Amino acid sequence: MSVPQAPIGDDGAKEALAYGQWLFAQDCRFVIGAAQLEQVPESSLPEVAFAGRSNVGKSSLINALTGRKTLAKTSNTPGRTQQLNFFVLGERLMMADLPGYGFAQAPKAKVARWTSLAEAYLKGRPLLRRACLLIDARHGLKDVDRSIMKRLDTAAVSYQVILTKADKPSAAELSACLDQVAREIATHTAAHPEILTTSSRDGRHIAELRATLAALAAPRSPSSDQAGSAT
């Protein structure tokens, strides 16, 4: 099977989509659920992270991206919920699934724990290319999201807002949500200007998100892929 090349330049939209489709069809392997910083795996792969409020649709989105029904659910079983779950995709991209934040009924200690573990991870990961900050398209940004955005700005972690559950709001509500988010991210130094509007239910912009993330992954030429070594 030929390996689509990682796209170069601005004209590569089609190639980007093809590379994203190909990469996310590759093997996705669970590496570890890290409950402490010391358990965060060493890696030489480019990395992306997924963060968002509890119930934002993060597991569903990761499963939609990888085409696996249970990948993120398996790792989100109770007891693992405060862990950072790491997956390697196609030996080219490390994906980190951060615990959901903002549980209304969470005790302060639990919130502090999210903050210290996730923040230490986010600050100390030189190969972290981007954090996907998932926001429910019905609700838009909440104060807890804003506080995470400020932390990401301070840590100089590039992040991109991904709206989830876009099948739920009306077109007018969705457009108002996009306006609100666009206005706010313009004031955040580390925020990527492009917002992706996704739905795990109807599949909208899942292919585009795959392409966006694949463009951050390690490219590999077909010949070196056959040889099994990175270029």
Q: Site for ligand GDP (CB under 6 A): which residue of 23, 33, 58, 132?
A: 58
Q: Is 164 in the site for ligand GDP (CB under 6 A)?
A: yes
Q: How many Å is the Cα radius of gyration of the chain?
A: 17
Q: Site for ligand GDP (CB under 6 A): which residue of 8, 25, 36, 55?
A: 55
Distances (CA, A) of 108 to 27, 101, 111, 115, 145: 38, 12, 5, 11, 17
Other CB atoms within 10 A of residue 111 CB: 14
Q: Site for ligand GDP (CB under 6 A): which residue of 167, 173, 184, 208?
A: 167
In angstroms, what is the minimal distance from the CB of 110 to ligand GDP?
15
Q: Taking CB under 6 A as the criterion, which residues in 170-199 touch ligand GDP?
A: 199
Q: Site for ligand GDP (CB under 6 A): which residue of 57, 90, 102, 169?
A: 57
Q: What is the DSSP string of 172-198?
A: HHHHHHHHHHHHHHTT-TTB-S--EE-
Q: Name the token pair of 214.
A: 């694949």
Q: Site for ligand GDP (CB under 6 A): which residue of 83, 197, 200, 212?
A: 200
Q: What share of the chain is helix, strand, coil (3-state, %, to 5)?
A: 40, 20, 45
Q: Is 83 in the site for ligand GDP (CB under 6 A)?
A: no
Under the rule (CB under 6 A), what is the footprint of ligand GDP? 52, 54-60, 100, 164-165, 167-168, 199-201
